[in-house]
Amino acid sequence: MSAALEQTLRSGAQALALDLSEAQITLLLDFMALLQKWNKVYNLTSVRDPAEMVTHHLLDSLAAVAPLRRHLAQAGQDAPRLLDVGSGGGLPGVVFAICCPQLDVSCVDTVAKKAAFIQQAAVTLQLRNLHGIHARVESLSGPFDVVSCRAFASLPDFTTWSRAALGPDAVWLAMKGKHPADEITALPAEVQVFHVEQLSVPGLDAERCIVWLRPPA
């Protein structure tokens, strides 16, 4: 990995006020190298340019880490579990597993080769808290404390399909581009948006936000 890309990652993490260890920076770069290598054969992501991978994938996913860490600290769960839906090449699931080592992360995808890539990443990067699952999310039952997705489906579809995976007091974390007002309006009564958090991704001139949702108490 070139020094320039490493510097982009470091300064981006700094701009996001993420206190990442040297080991975590190395893991993120190793993950990206693995993604590039497998992408040649498995077509895990349409982004091929390494510099774009850093901004559009790593930093984009890292922008959600501080909000996730805050949520986990407030929830105060002992061994929290996260399900990342439609994880594809492991974004943001693998990034969450690297940056939140206390979190047990399962990445589910309907495409077998994508789930296999996650399993390979877990072995290669020695991430015991990372698992790849080849399944439809509707077939999974939890309990998971957080169910996340990034550019996966509309909010009504995402919450309907993954409802059975939610544990007690669990939340959905949906990473979106611009504020999805239409999708929020279309949500059923049994899903409540409790926060829409604007994100700023270093080096990316695009709108990003997290929509936090939960079933009504």
Does 53 lie in the same domain as 69? no
Q: Is the pLDDT of residue 52 over 80?
A: no
Does 188 lie in the same domain as 123? yes
The whole domain housing 13 covers 3-59
Last-in-domain residue among 59, 87, 105:
59
Does 82 lie in the same domain as 9? no
Does 116 lie in the same domain as 89? yes
**Mean pLDDT, to the nearest integer, of 29-51?**
81
Does 109 lie in the same domain as 162? yes
Q: Half-sphere exposure of 100 toward its Cβ, with a 13 Å CA cutoff?
A: 26
User: Treating both helix axes as pointing N-terminal to C-terminal, what angle do 22-42 and 3-15 enclose, rounded to 10 degrees?
Assistant: 120
CATH number at residue 101: 3.40.50.150
Q: For the segment 189-212, what is each residue's pLDDT rounded down to a tens digit?
A: 999 999 999 999 999 889 999 999
Residue 204 CB neighbours (<10 A): 16
Last-in-domain residue among 11, 39, 59:
59
Does 68 lie in the same domain as 47? no
**Mean pLDDT, to the nearest integer, of 166-177?**
96
**Mean pLDDT, to the nearest integer, of 137-154?**
94
**Mean pLDDT, to the nearest integer, of 116-121?**
96
Question: Which pLDDT score, from 0 to 100, does residue 114 have?
Answer: 93
- For 137, the token pair is 């999310």
How high does pLDDT run on average in the chain? 93
Does 138 lie in the same domain as 36? no
Does 135 lie in the same domain as 75? yes
Question: Which pLDDT score, from 0 to 100, does residue 1 have?
Answer: 62
Domains identified in the chain, total number: 2
Does 169 lie in the same domain as 90? yes
Q: Is the pLDDT of residue 169 over 70?
A: yes
Q: Is the pLDDT of residue 51 over 80?
A: no
Does 145 lie in the same domain as 111? yes
d(CA 132, CA 105): 9
> What is the pTM (predicted TM-score) of this model?
0.96
**Mean pLDDT, to the nearest integer, of 36-60?**
79
- Percent of the chain with pLDDT strictly greater than 90: 81
Q: For the segment 58-114, what is each residue's pLDDT rounded down to a tens digit?
A: 999 999 999 999 999 999 888 899 999 998 899 999 999 999 999 999 999 999 999
Does 72 lie in the same domain as 40? no
Of 46, 21, 23, 20, give the one whose Cα is nearest residue 35. Answer: 46
Last-in-domain residue among 59, 83, 100:
59
Look at phi and psi of residue 20 and say left if phi exceeds 0, alpha if psi is from -120 to 50, else beta.
beta
Query: Hey, what amino acid is at 130?
Result: L
Does 26 lie in the same domain as 85? no
